[in-house]
Structure 1
Amino acid sequence: MLDVRRMQVLRAVVTSGSVTAAAANLSCTPSAVSQQVAALEREAGLPLLERVGRGVRPTAAGRLLTEHAAVLGRQLAETETALADLRAGRTGNLSLRFFASAGAALVPPALAKLRAEHPGVRVDLKLIDAEDPLPEVVDGRADLAISVYRHPVPPRGVEFVPLLEDPYRAVLPRGHRLAAKCTIDLADLAEEQWINAEHSPGPCRQIVLDACASAGFTPDFTVDGADFATTQGFVAAGLGVSLIPRMGLGVTHPGVVIRRVGKPEPVRAIHAAIRESARSHPAMVSLIDALRNAA
Structure 2
Amino acid sequence: MELHQLQMLRELGELGSVKAVADTLSVTPSAVSQQISLLQRQVDTPLTRKDGRNLVLTEAGKVLADAGAEVINAMAAAKAAIGAYQHDVGGTVTISGFHSAGQALFAPLVRRLALLRADAGVRCAAAAGSAPEDGAAAALAVPRVRFSDEDVAQHDFPALTARYDLVLAHRMDHSPAWPDTRVRVIPLAHEPLDIAVAADHPLAALAELSPEDVVAHPWVASRSGYSPADVLTAIGAVASRPVEVVHRINDYSAAAALVSTGEVIGLLPRYTSSPALNHGAALNPGVVLRPLTGISTRRRIDLLARPENLKRASVMLVAQALQDVMTELTGE
Unpaired stretches in structure 1, ≥5 consecutive residues:
52-56
Counterpart of 2:248, as a letter, is D
Q: 2:228 & 2:174 partners in 1: Cα distance?
A: 13
Query: Would the aligned equivalents of 2:201 and 2:262 in 1 still touch at CA under 8 Å?
Result: no
Higher helix share: 2
Provide closer, same or farther for how the CA distance between residues 214 and 59 of structure 1 changes in structure 2, counting only shifts above 3 A. Answer: closer
Q: 2:301 aligns with which of 238, 247, 271?
A: 271
SS of the aligned residue for 2:286 comes to strand
Counterpart of 1:269, as a letter, is R
Counterpart of 1:148, as a letter, is R
Instruction: Encode CA deviations 1:216-245: one digit per residue, 9 max, x unaligned.
Output: 765433333452222233344554333322
Match of 1:54 in 2: none
Query: Would the aligned equivalents of 2:93 and 2:144 in 1 still touch at CA under 8 Å?
Result: yes
Match of 1:19 in 2: 16
Provide closer, same or farther for how the CA distance between residues 120 and 256 of structure 1 changes in structure 2, counting only shifts above 3 A. Answer: closer
Query: Would the aligned equivalents of 1:207 and 1:268 in 2 still touch at CA under 8 Å?
Result: no
Query: Would the aligned equivalents of 2:89 and 2:317 in 1 still touch at CA under 8 Å?
Result: no
Deviation at 1:146, TM superposition (A): 1.5
Match of 2:65 in 1: 66
Q: 1:60 & 1:285 partners in 2: Cα distance?
A: 50
Q: 2:146 & 2:109 partners in 1: Cα distance?
A: 14
Instruction: Encode CA deviations 1:38-59: one digit per residue, 9 max, x unaligned.
Output: 85667644455799xxxxx976
- Please give the TM-score of this superposition, normalised by the length of structure 2: 0.58
Deviation at 1:264, TM superposition (A): 2.4
- Please give the TM-score of this superposition, normalised by the length of structure 1: 0.63
1:99 aligns with 2:105: no
Provide closer, same or farther for how the CA distance between residues 13 and 239 of structure 1 changes in structure 2, counting only shifts above 3 A. Answer: same
Unpaired stretches in structure 2, ≥5 consecutive residues:
51-55, 118-139, 327-332
SS of the aligned residue for 1:154 comes to coil
Alignment of 1:130-279 (within 5 A): 130-132=152-154, 134-137=155-158, 146-151=169-174, 154=177, 157=180, 161=187, 163-172=189-198, 176-178=200-202, 181=205, 183=207, 185=209, 192-194=217-219, 196-211=220-235, 214=238, 218-237=242-261, 239-246=263-270, 247-251=272-276, 252=278, 253=280, 254-262=283-291, 264=293, 267-272=297-302, 274=304, 278=307
Match of 2:325 in 1: 294
Deviating more after overlay: 60-69 vs 77-86? 77-86
Deviation at 1:272, TM superposition (A): 2.2
Q: 1:156 & 1:233 partners in 2: Cα distance?
A: 36
SS of the aligned residue for 2:257 comes to helix
Bigger radius of gyration among the two: 1
Instruction: Encode CA deviations 1:27-81: one digit per residue, 9 max, x unaligned.
Output: 489xx69968985667644455799xxxxx9765245213312211112212443
Higher strand share: 1
Deviating more after overlay: 152-161 vs 115-124? 115-124
SS of the aligned residue for 2:275 comes to coil
Provide closer, same or farther for how the CA distance between residues 208 and 257 of structure 1 changes in structure 2, counting only shifts above 3 A. Answer: farther
Identity between Structure 1 and Structure 2 (%)? 17
Provide closer, same or farther for how the CA distance between residues 72 and 13 of structure 1 changes in structure 2, counting only shifts above 3 A. Answer: same
- Alignment size in residue pairs: 284
Counterpart of 1:230, as a letter, is A
How well do the aligned residues superpose, as a CA RMSD in angstroms? Answer: 5.5
Query: Would the aligned equivalents of 2:98 and 2:169 in 1 still touch at CA under 8 Å?
Result: yes
Deviation at 1:269, TM superposition (A): 2.1
Query: Would the aligned equivalents of 2:193 and 2:291 in 1 still touch at CA under 8 Å?
Result: no
Query: Would the aligned equivalents of 1:114 and 1:286 in 2 still touch at CA under 8 Å?
Result: no
Deviation at 1:294, TM superposition (A): 2.8
Q: 1:189 & 1:49 partners in 2: Cα distance?
A: 85
SS of the aligned residue for 1:256 comes to coil
Q: 1:259 & 1:28 partners in 2: Cα distance?
A: 71
Q: 1:43 & 1:74 partners in 2: Cα distance?
A: 22
